[in-house]
Amino acid sequence: MSRLMTIPRKSRKSLLVWLFVVLILPAPSRAATKVIIDTDPGVDDALAVVLAFRSPDLEILGLTTIFGNVETELATQNALRLVEMSGKTIPVAQGAVKPLYMKKLDPPDFVHGKDGFGNVDLPPPTGRPIAQPAAAFIVETVMAHPGEVTLVVLGPMTNIALALALEPELPQYVKAVVAMGGVLEVMGNVSPVASANILGDPHAADIVLGTDWNVTLVPGDTTRQVKITDDFLARIRDHGGSTGRFLHDISLFYRDFYRSVGATDGFYAHDPTAMAFVIDPSLFRTEERAVRVVTEGMAIGEVIAATERHYSEPGPWFGIPKASITSEVDSQGVLDLLEKTLTETIGKVAR
């Protein structure tokens, strides 16, 4: 006699129902994370935004634009171009055109090209941004989805700081903030201690990173461990459909800049790495730090991240809200996620 038949009939029926549910019915799918992407496209922004568009784990509620790699108006045009390439209907809200207090830095057209997309000379987008400014769009969208929206910040943090000023209770309603920028132990790319995204508006960065909410900073120490090679780009071109070919083509100018400064084994995947954290944080390790940003002097833009030794004892760091900072990354895991999403998904959609 089988062991199943020795079980009382009532219990046996319950066991069979349980087995049917576990083994036959499909597992419930995980709800996609709602995100607003604040971006200054930019070559690596384009890679990150397309990754987000194609990820089944993300629901894009909108793009907001900011100065940085290009001027804000051009960032808006490029964001519209990316939306139109995706075939999706996603609102684009234009953001701030200058930092909160300091003079705006010149766009690094020697890195991303004058058009932000490697000088590939795309036609103008057919769409237009919504009338609502970026900060107001962020506030309205977050408040409409309390506790559900993650803000992904790929450029200077001005729009987020303005949203906080517009709605001081915003931190209670945001699910998370993930921002790319800053350096801790590696050299900055615009000064010995500062990265472009932070120096672009250090006052805004100090506000955002010093606010008491669920914020994670993905610094250059992490993103510089993830490099995109020519072979990687060729696979995206060959297996990623028309959008893959676009990403390949705009990346060549960016790659050549990195070669000119001695990086011959690939270029850093700054923004795609931050987006990968949003999609799969298990590829990273984080540390809790108390974070402030220097807002004046020769070290302006430096991110200072105090450890527990400093923030747990009475002193200037005591009581400062904590932020998470990525400290380790599975570089190959991030590249695998990027390639799989850009080839398997784009290849099916954009031929």
Among 38, 40, 201, 206, the one annotated catalytic: 40
Among 115, 248, 270, 271, the one annotated catalytic: 270
Token pair 């799969």: residue: 280
Alpha helices in the chain (DSSP H): 9-23, 43-54, 72-86, 109-112, 134-144, 158-166, 196-199, 202-209, 220-223, 230-239, 241-260, 270-279, 308-311, 331-340, 346-349
Neighbours of 98 (CB within 10 A): 14
Please confirm, yes or no, whether 145 is among the known catalytic residues. Answer: no
Please confirm, yes or no, whether 203 is among the known catalytic residues. Answer: no
Closest CA to 345 of 38, 81, 87: 87
Radius of gyration, CA atoms only, the chain: 22
Name the β-bridge partners of 326: 286
Determine contact, residues 113/87, Cβ cutoff 8 Å.
Answer: no
The C-alpha atoms of residue 132 and residue 92 are separated, in whole angstroms, by: 9
- The residues carrying an active-site annotation are 40, 270
